[in-house]
A and B are shown apart, each in its own frame.
Chain A
Amino acid sequence: MSQPQSNGSPLVRIDGVEKYFQRGAEKIHVLAELNLTVAPGEFLALMGPSGSGKSTLLNLIGGLDRPTKGTVTVAGERIDQLSDRQLADWRARHIGFVFQLYNLIPVLNAERNVELPLLLTHLTGAQRAKHVAAALALVGLSHRAKHFPRTMSGGEQQRVGIARGIVTDPTLLLCDEPTGDLDRKAGDEILDLLGALNREQGKTIVMVTHDPHASARASRTVHLFKGQITSEAVK
């Protein structure tokens, strides 16, 4: 498999990963013999039909789940061997998540939502406020800091979600269909934002998407089919 941009060691290395789910007596084979690397500074799109295992793969990279077999190495650390507790700490330090349905806490306003991951650090209140303000400025929502999610459009909520994803300056930003619930215009704005974060801030991004329009923004696209990588395209 080609390894573009991999001057030096990859940021993510997935080696011989298999993933089964046990549903009752049934064994669901989701990922099979999967190998993938992501270089630092890449913007990788994961595409494929529904049920092909895109989210499952993203969850393995983000330490939300562990593979049945094989290894997952992120920034030089074998995360498939970490305990649940270690994984939680590891996620807090290394991963920013962006979700399809934004997953904001409805009872908290924008800046409180963005502040959440910082509660897991030792930053003081003043330091947190500074980081939150910077993240909201980066997504262009400084003026809505005190607004609650329900008063915002889907696009704005997703931008709050992205601000929350980057506020800790994570090693990796993982997005699961970040534009899946948005119309074209709002979706484009989100993609512009992700592209800018990648180019200007050097953020490494892995994005799951159904939308070819979205994957066109990525520097590389990997297609999954029935748990296997079928093709890759480098821009």
Chain B
Amino acid sequence: MQSGPLNWLSQVAAITKFGLLSIPQRRGAVAATICGTAGVVTVFIGVLSIAAGFRRVMASSGAPDAAIVLRSGADSEMVSGFGREETRLIADAPGLARNARGPLVSAELFVIINLPKRSTGTDANVPLRGVEGAAAEVREQLKIVSGRMFEPGKNEVIVGAGAAREFAGLDVGAVVKVGRESWPVVGIYTANGGLAESEMWTDAKVLQAAYQRGDSFQSVYARLASPGAFDQFKDALTTNPRLNVKVQRVSDYYAEQSTMLASLITGLGVLIAALMAVGAVFGALNTMYSAVAARTREIATLRALGFGRGAVVLALMVESLVLALGGGAIGALAAYAVFNNFTAATMNWQSFSQVTFAFAVTPALLVQGVIWATLIGLIGGLLPAVRAARLPIASALREL
């Protein structure tokens, strides 16, 4: 009979096919492997979608042409402070966007107030921010979605959509009582999903008066004439001998603020997923060992017929990989269905107040989940495949 070099791929394909066809006979173990892998991938993607969502909020909190000015050495608005004179100097700096009323800057201050959460009824911190007239234009994404803007000079607040969702009693028409002060809620706003949505805003002057802050501020938010004008603005302020400030793009500022929490969550997610992955690898090992045990005689028969050792190893690896990827796909879909856009609130450790955000199951996370599944499949398949390839053909042929 004619015969040449062996058709290796068709060997692998044939053996893989028997393996996959025999899955119904090994339902239990196969289901366990698939579920185990799916669990790892779901948890991994789920936990990391928290970090991704948090990062996304922080990153969407600043347009590229927005800048924040803090006192030099301050890492956050909490520990920064300016007097009226300084904020005026900042507003006079070159490189700023302007409208008919002047440069687009907003000197701001904020206080932390305690409000009960809708979900648990327990109190948590919400920033109440005092802003100046140009604040909404400085943050171009700000949009009043119900009610209206607060009126300057009045004890009125507008509430970010995230805070309104998270905290009780923040609906338009409600009145927030803090100490002796009463703050009617007159509007709800969105800010492109950014951090501002977790805050409440009022007029800066009113807030200064209510909290005996005199004429002091904590930060200045500014809109640049263009993203490229940042250096000009920054240089003018940092070289001004009458100022001692730090100038950052708002996006950079928030990104910096989110790094710690995001990397903490990411680390935790990877750790949990790794622990579960160890379990899943054992599950896959078990499944593939039992697959090899159940097919000892078949594998030996194929080897007797002339199928190669490498083809056996590869086919079993492929089988293991297919199972794990099946589990991975299920896990990724589950994570997407459950976690994507799931909203939550967490502490922003730099301002000690609540940040509301949506979990983000990003394509990158899905890809990483699939990579985890691949690794589980490869590691779980390798040892059983090697065992199968090492089977002494002669004695394995007689195995029942």
Residues of A bordering B, CB below 8 Å: 55-56, 59, 62, 64-65, 84-85, 88-93, 95, 97, 99-101, 103, 105-108, 116-117, 119-123, 164, 168-170
Contacts and interface: CB of A to CB of B under 8 A. Distances in A.
Contacts of A64: 304, 393-394, 397
B348 interface: no
A110 to B, nearest CB: 15
Contacts of B300: 103
B98 interface: no
B6 to A, nearest CB: 5
A122 B7 contact: yes
Interface in B256-305: 297-298, 300-305
Contacts, number: 90
A108 B297 CA distance: 15
B308 A88 contact: yes
Contact of A119 (B2, B7, B298, B400): B7
Contacts of A169: 1
Interface in B370-400: 393-394, 397-398, 400
A92 B305 contact: yes
A107 B304 contact: no
Interface residues of B, number: 29
Nearest to A177: B398
B182 interface: no
B3 A92 contact: yes
Contacts of B349: none
A122 to B, nearest CB: 5
B304 A62 contact: yes
B10 interface: yes
A85 B309 CA distance: 8
Contact of B307 (A99, A106, A120, A121): A120
B7 A97 contact: no
B121 interface: no
Contact of B7 (A90, A105, A121, A170): A121
Interface stretch (B14-22, B70-78, B159-167): B14-22
B350 to A, nearest CB: 61
Given A59-B394, A64-B304, A119 B18 contact: no
Given A93-B1, A107-B18, A65 B306 contact: no
A50 to B, nearest CB: 12
B31 to A, nearest CB: 18
B42 interface: no
Given A91-B306, A121-B2, A65 B10 contact: no
B363 interface: no
